Amino acid sequence: MDQNINIKVKVWRQKSAKEKGHFEVYELKEVSQSASFLEMIDILNEQLINEGKDPVVYDHDCREGICGMCSLYIDGHPHGPDTGITTCQLHMRHFNDGDTITIEPWRSAGFPIIRDLMVDRTAYDKIIQAGGFVSVNTGGTPDANSIPVPRHKAEAAMDAAACIGCGACAAACKNGSAMLFVSAKVSQLALLPQGRVEAARRAKAMVAKMDELGFGNCTNTRACELECPKNISVSNIARLNREFIAAKFCD
């Protein structure tokens, strides 16, 4: 049975990317364990506003685990201590009375801090843009079975496409690598016949853009896979490496 708990939240406050940040500790009384984590931050912000203080800035949108914008580092884990969920799906029942919860923004060179807990994740959008489009002239609505796709490849492509681009992989990586994200986006198209036409160009372009934007190298510690809210497999990184090497021979 859910209860009300008293907690402390240790929140990173930073006015801009150019200013130094610091932690501030706030006390919250009688927080329902049935509340979501983001609802708890809303309660904190209401308390701060009533006290005449600046509310904590953080990013959110769908609150359904789809958009990936609710990207917070909670008690040393991207998206919090539970697995396979985003921050907006985390509930206060995972915390106990008297806990001090540490909340930070993503820590990655590729995601500069905008303010407080909000970071600029447009680097991922730029990597997607570098990948380009699938140039298939579909004409009218094609028959469902007009291009046969083996079931195991279709399922692997759908698993890779589950990536929501939240940035947890880069935040969890000691090198700030975006390889899991890039490999998922390459794999979801490379596995399907519709995506093979530009496969070589796509792999080279997305890896080049990732490097250009300051993300680190992958050293296969698999922290990205462990912390990914959509359980994207590192097997996609192996596929990206194969695609990238094959693309080099196509030059």
Buried residues in 216-236 as b, exposed as e (16+ CB within 10 A): bebeeeebbbebbbbebbbeb
Residue that has been written with the tokens 């680097």 in this structure: 123
Mind listing the pLDDT tens digit of every residue in the chain (251 residues)? 679 999 999 999 999 989 999 999 999 999 999 999 999 999 999 999 999 999 999 999 898 999 999 999 999 999 999 999 999 999 999 999 999 999 999 999 899 999 999 999 999 999 999 998 876 666 676 666 677 889 999 999 999 999 999 999 999 999 999 999 999 999 999 998 888 888 899 999 999 999 999 999 999 999 999 999 999 999 999 999 999 998 877 76
* Per-residue H/E/C for 137-190: CCCCCCCCCCCCCCHHHHHHHHHHHCCCCCCHHHHHCCCCECHHHHHHHHHHHH
Residue ranges per structural domain of the chain = 4-114, 121-249
The correct CATH number of 4-114 out of 2.40.160.20, 2.140.10.30, 3.20.20.70, 3.10.20.30 is: 3.10.20.30
Residue that has been written with the tokens 């959509």 in this structure: 230
In this prediction the pTM is 0.91
Asked if the 121-249 domain carries CATH number 1.10.150.120, the reply is no
